[in-house]
């Protein structure tokens, strides 16, 4: 063993869970509820976890998979890009992991299967379709499987906002692998959906871990407006973000291009992401956004699952979402570093007709009825004068003991920049006075503090990260996150021991 590894081990906690956390992830302590889930899964117990975006769900199953050095955890995930990113991150930490999907050539697939049967991987990622396709269960029975993970588990429920029929097939897992634990993870599930997940996956006396749906660092602002005002407010919301990133959710593919052009006219670099783009373009645009070459991402609902960018300072949703769950998932990508972030929903009356049109296209009567239910809940949400976070928590069935968050538009009024006087007039517009509304600047919601860093050094490290990512043919954010780069600039470690003190620097990353 080399000296650097020995030194790192001396400073680790004595508990094996804490040791593994420090050694691979570089963290000194677990986030809330993580340790309980890790210990439950490591003990072979079924688990059902509802944890908000940014709460650290993936670590909850990756760490117990690492602890079992002879067996392999099988992770069922619906997104190819997410699989590839997570596998790349795990390999960067020195954890043997692999994915099997349509992007893997047949010759490579055969080699992966051979190694898997020998127990060479700690985690294998597969799509839900592949998990139940002919031949896969028979092959998996030859693999020393430790447990199964169902990511985005809400997709299994017809009561959820993102039901996927292929997920229903996963109910066969319990019959095919009765001895292996099954872990279900999701960021958003109502009480009804949670019951459905447990029933569909046939979980046996599962450890249920439901985190609070309240994100105290997020300010929700809901505003009805017409098209011209929506554009103005969008420009204002994006322009206010000086440090960090922005996500703009567009209701249509066509609108994505319009928004990018509009932002470009104001000198704001933005890239797009939607299902009609080829995979390479989506990947390139996501990389530009992650490395802040383009600070604004304009996408449809196709963008966002699995994104782990801590410094998103604003999420702007144009038009009514399909459901409160969808709104919660989209806005949950903001403020993952715990610092304040704005979540703006800018909607128009005509959105009602657009949503109704989509619902009418649903052929299944039961699903159409559920969609109408979500439609009316969304209507009630935007029209209500009640606290936004409170409404969200109550929607998910969380008992709420507080009355007001004190920062959302319902509690504190609209922020001053949303007032008619604050928005720069656009050429040719008339009748601005009809936009008048109560607008105040909440004193309880401070702007995110800027960490004082040497910008030249930070840019040097970013360039090093881009070069390293290019050499390894991985996404730049899998090398090191921005928060780690900034802490490196602030602390400027000179010795390995100092480097190990930086949160997020595990053994392998220190050596690199």
Give the pLDDT score at 209.
95
DSSP for 408-446 reads: SHHHH-B-GGGSTTTSPPPTT---GGGG---B---TTSP
**Of the candidates 140, 127, 207, 141, which has an alpha carbon nearest to the alpha carbon of residue 169?**
127
Neighbours of 444 (CB within 10 A): 10
| Residues 202 and 225 placed together within one structural domain of the fold | no
3 has a pLDDT exceeding 50? no
Distances (CA, A) of 182 to 62, 218, 395: 14, 32, 27
Neighbours of 74 (CB within 10 A): 26
Backbone angles phi, psi at 55, to 5 degrees: -80, -10
What strand order describes the sheet that includes 97-100?
A: 97-100, 123-126, 72-76, 145-150, 181-186, 47-50, 207-210
- For 153, half-sphere exposure in the C-beta direction (CA atoms, 13 angstrom radius) is 30
CATH of the domain at 102: 3.40.50.300
Does residue 435 belong to any structural domain of this protein? no
Tell me the pairing of strands 72-76 and 97-100: unpaired
Torsion of CA 149, 178, 50, 57, to 10 degrees: -30
Question: Tell me, what DSSP letter sits at residue 250?
Answer: -
Q: What is the mean pLDDT of residues 436-446?
A: 44
Give the pLDDT score at 56.
86
Does residue 129 belong to any structural domain of this protein? yes
268 has a pLDDT exceeding 80? yes
9 has a pLDDT exceeding 60? no
| Residues 202 and 292 placed together within one structural domain of the fold | no
pLDDT band at 84 (very low <50, low <70, confident <90, very high): confident
* Per-residue tokens: 224: 């009805």
CA distance 380 to 357: 19
| Average pLDDT of the chain to the nearest whole number | 86
| Residues 38 and 170 placed together within one structural domain of the fold | yes
Does residue 12 belong to any structural domain of this protein? no
Q: What is the mean pLDDT of residues 434-454?
A: 51
216 has a pLDDT exceeding 60? yes
| Residues 195 and 280 placed together within one structural domain of the fold | no
Contact by Cβ (8 Å): 26, 8: no
In three-state secondary structure terms, 320 is coil
Place of tokens 């029209």: 383
| Residues 399 and 347 placed together within one structural domain of the fold | yes
**Of the candidates 215, 217, 220, 216, which has an alpha carbon nearest to the alpha carbon of residue 413?**
220
Distances (CA, A) of 422 to 222, 229, 439: 17, 12, 10
Structural domain total, the chain: 3
Work out the burial of residue 399: count CB atoms within 10 Å of its CB; fewer than 13 is exposed, 13-18 middle, 19 or more buried: exposed
CATH of the domain at 489: 1.10.150.80
Place of tokens 């092959």: 139
Task: Choose one of 176, 210, 244: the last residue of a domain.
Answer: 210
Does residue 278 belong to any structural domain of this protein? yes
* Per-residue tokens: 501: 């003190």
Range of the domain at 385: 218-406
Give the pLDDT score at 6.
35
Give the pLDDT score at 430.
38
427 has a pLDDT exceeding 50? no
Task: Choose one of 193, 210, 227: the last residue of a domain.
Answer: 210
Neighbours of 289 (CB within 10 A): 28
What proportion of the chain, given as a percentage, has pLDDT over 70? 89
| Residues 231 and 352 placed together within one structural domain of the fold | yes
| Residues 195 and 222 placed together within one structural domain of the fold | no
| Residues 141 and 63 placed together within one structural domain of the fold | yes
pTM, rounded to two decimals: 0.81
| Residues 245 and 187 placed together within one structural domain of the fold | no
Does residue 6 belong to any structural domain of this protein? no
| Residues 192 and 47 placed together within one structural domain of the fold | yes
Give the pLDDT score at 450.
59
Cβ contacts of residue 186 below 8 Å, gap of 6+? 49, 50, 151, 152, 153, 154, 193, 197
Does residue 236 belong to any structural domain of this protein? yes
Does residue 63 belong to any structural domain of this protein? yes
| Residues 185 and 81 placed together within one structural domain of the fold | yes
Contact by Cβ (8 Å): 326, 354: no
pLDDT band at 300 (very low <50, low <70, confident <90, very high): very high
**Of the candidates 55, 173, 70, which has an alpha carbon nearest to the alpha carbon of residue 118?**
70
pLDDT band at 421 (very low <50, low <70, confident <90, very high): low
Task: Choose one of 160, 181, 210: the last residue of a domain.
Answer: 210
Does residue 312 belong to any structural domain of this protein? yes
Give the pLDDT score at 466.
80
Give the pLDDT score at 66.
96
pLDDT band at 364 (very low <50, low <70, confident <90, very high): confident
335 has a pLDDT exceeding 80? yes
CA distance 31 to 370: 35
| Residues 202 and 224 placed together within one structural domain of the fold | no
């Amino acid at each position: 063993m080399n000296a650097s590894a020995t030194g790192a081990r001396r400073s680790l906690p004595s508990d094996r869970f804490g040791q593994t956390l420090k050694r691979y992830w570089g963290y000194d302590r677990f986030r809330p509820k993580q340790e309980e889930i890790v210990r439950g899964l490591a003990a072979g117990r079924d688990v059902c976890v509802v944890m908000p975006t940014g709460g650290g769900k993936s670590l909850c199953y990756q760490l117990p998979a690492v602890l079992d050095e002879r067996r392999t955890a099988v992770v069922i995930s619906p997104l190819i890009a997410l699989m590839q990113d997570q596998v790349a991150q795990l390999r960067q930490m020195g954890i043997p992991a692999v994915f099997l999907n349509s992007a893997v050539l047949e010759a490579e697939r055969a080699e992966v299967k051979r190694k898997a049967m020998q127990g060479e991987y700690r985690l294998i990622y597969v799509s839900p379709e592949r998990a139940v396709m002919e031949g896969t269960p028979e092959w998996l029975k030859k693999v020393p499987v430790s447990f199964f993970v169902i990511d985005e588990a809400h997709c299994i429920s017809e009561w959820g906002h993102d039901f996927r029929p292929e997920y229903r097939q996963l109910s066969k897992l319990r019959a095919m692998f009765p001895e292996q634990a099954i872990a279900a993870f999701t960021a958003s599930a109502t009480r009804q959906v949670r019951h459905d997940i447990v029933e569909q996956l046939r979980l046996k006396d599962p450890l249920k871990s439901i985190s609070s749906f309240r994100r105290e660092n997020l300010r929700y602002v809901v505003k009805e407006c017409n098209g011209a005002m929506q554009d103005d407010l969008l420009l204002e919301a994006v322009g206010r973000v000086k440090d960090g990133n922005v996500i703009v959710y567009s209701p249509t593919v066509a609108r994505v291009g319009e928004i990018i052009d509009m932002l470009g006219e104001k000198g704001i670099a933005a890239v797009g992401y939607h299902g009609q783009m080829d995979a390479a373009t989506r990947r390139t645009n996501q990389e530009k956004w992650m490395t802040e070459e383009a600070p604004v991402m304009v996408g449809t609902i196709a963008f966002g699952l699995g994104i782990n960018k801590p410094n998103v300072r604003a999420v702007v949703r144009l038009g009514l979402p399909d459901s409160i769950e969808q709104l919660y998932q989209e806005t949950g990508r903001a403020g993952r570093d715990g610092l304040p972030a704005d979540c703006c929903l800018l909607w128009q009356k005509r959105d009602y007709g657009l949503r109704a049109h989509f619902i009418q296209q649903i052929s299944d009567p039961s699903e159409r009825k559920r969609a109408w239910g979500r439609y009316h809940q969304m209507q009630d949400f935007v029209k209500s004068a009640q606290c936004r976070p409170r409404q969200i928590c109550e929607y998910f069935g969380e008992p709420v003991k507080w009355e007001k968050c004190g920062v959302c538009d319902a509690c504190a009024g609209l922020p001053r920049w949303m007032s008619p006087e604050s928005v720069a007039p656009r050429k040719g517009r008339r009748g601005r006075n009809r936009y008048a509304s109560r607008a105040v600047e909440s004193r309880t919601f401070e702007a995110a503090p800027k960490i004082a860093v040497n910008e030249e050094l930070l840019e040097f490290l970013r360039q090093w990260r881009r070069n390293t990512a290019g050499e390894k043919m991985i996404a730049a954010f899998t090398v090191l996150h921005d928060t780690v780069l900034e802490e490196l600039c602030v602390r400027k470690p000179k010795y390995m021991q100092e480097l190990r003190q930086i949160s997020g620097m595990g053994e392998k990353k220190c050596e690199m």
